[in-house]
Amino acid sequence: MARPTTTDDARFPRAHRLRSRRDFRRVQSVGRRVHTPHFIVLVDRGRAERTRLGITVSRKVGGAVVRNRVKRLVREVFRANRERFPRGHDLVVIAKRHAGEVDFTSARRELLGVERALANAARALEPTGRPC
């Protein structure tokens, strides 16, 4: 069976992922936080033009199957709605203890529901052009 073709918009390429520990630590230490019932979303000014996503799901959420499911949900919400997140910023999504119980619709609602708060946080991170 032939592999289905996907457009560039339907992929989640490496360039859109936070991969290094250093990047995760930077966003977690200086990024702005937004809380939802199942996630903590952190945003920091990125080093590139594109928005990058990092996901942290600890063992307190559940076993490997549950953790991987949560990561797939978050990735899919980001992938399908990439343009709604602040451009040129790095995002880290941290799953809270009960994130394993969330379904796709709820995850989507929560993560897209913080859109305005993320935009405000991203604006607060932008240089103002005024001397300190």
pLDDT tens digits, 54-84: 999 999 999 999 999 999 999 999 999 888 8
pLDDT tens digits, 3-45: 555 555 567 788 889 989 999 999 999 988 999 999 999 999 8
* Domains of the chain: residue spans and CATH: 31-124 (3.30.230.10)
Plot region of 88 (φ>0 → left; ψ -120 to 50 → alpha; else → beta): left
Structure pTM? 0.82
State the pLDDT at residue 127: 64
Query: For the chain, how long is the longest CA-to-CA vector?
Result: 61
